[in-house]
């Protein structure tokens, strides 16, 4: 029994027993060959990221199968979405855990690309899910942008507590990330660019 559990701009997620089938659907507005190439590339890249995460024992869904075209079968992580429970729990401690986990990703040259509390599941610990926009990169800029996206997500979803959460994330990240200080320096530049864009 296949049950649709989520749909984003790029893909649909179906629950099948204890696994999730992630299908990158066709985009009719794109040229067919370009669309197929793009979906294949993104599916393969996400599969590689998931394999790397399993190799380093990172709390994220395990890859079960990859058709190397448009479908990934991945483990379904049971638990509650962090966006629904962050404010009801010890959010500073949870934020510290998030900071440590982002540092682990970045230390392994993995950029999540969509760090929001909608892409985090809590089940005794915090799991990161949805690597559809993830990539491999050692660039300081990419790491800073990853953190900046988290800030924006916290600000819009958890506006009452976001400052304390973000502060806790950055404190732990700076200690645990290999280039932590450098990334936080670049983060200030990224944030000032964001403010400039909003003014103009």
- Asked if residues 71 and 153 have their Cβ atoms less than 8 Å apart, the reply is no
Q: Quote the CA–CA distance of 75 and 65 in Å, as a whole number.
A: 10
Structure tokens at 101: 């986990």
Is 114 designated active site?
yes
Out of 114, 130, 142, 146, which one is annotated catalytic? Answer: 114
Separation CA 114–CA 9 (nearest Å): 13
Rounded Cα distance between 20 and 100, Å, is 27
CB-CB contact of 173 with 102 (8 Å): yes
- Distance between CA atoms of residues 180 and 186, nearest Å: 10
Q: Which positions are annotated as active-site residues? A: 114
């Amino acid at each position: 029994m296949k049950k649709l559990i989520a749909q984003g701009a790029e893909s649909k997620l179906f629950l099948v027993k204890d696994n999730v089938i992630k299908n990158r659907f066709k985009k009719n507005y794109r040229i067919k060959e370009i669309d197929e190439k793009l979906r294949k590339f993104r599916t393969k890249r996400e599969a590689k990221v998931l394999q790397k995460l399993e190799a380093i024992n990172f709390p994220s869904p395990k890859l079960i199968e990859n058709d190397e075209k448009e479908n990934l079968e991945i483990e379904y992580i049971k638990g509650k979405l962090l966006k629904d429970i962050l404010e009801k729990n010890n959010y500073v401690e949870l934020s510290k855990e998030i900071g440590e986990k982002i540092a682990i990703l970045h230390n392994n040259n993995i950029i999540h690309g969509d760090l929001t509390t909608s892409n985090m599941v809590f089940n005794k610990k915090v799991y990161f899910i949805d690597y559809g926009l993830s990539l491999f990169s050692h660039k300081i800029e990419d790491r800073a942008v990853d953190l900046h996206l988290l800030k924006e997500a916290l600000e819009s979803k958890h506006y009452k507590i976001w400052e304390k959460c973000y502060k806790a994330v950055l404190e732990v990240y700076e200690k645990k990330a290999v280039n932590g200080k450098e990334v936080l320096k670049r983060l200030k530049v990224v944030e000032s660019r964001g403010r400039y864009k909003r003014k103009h």
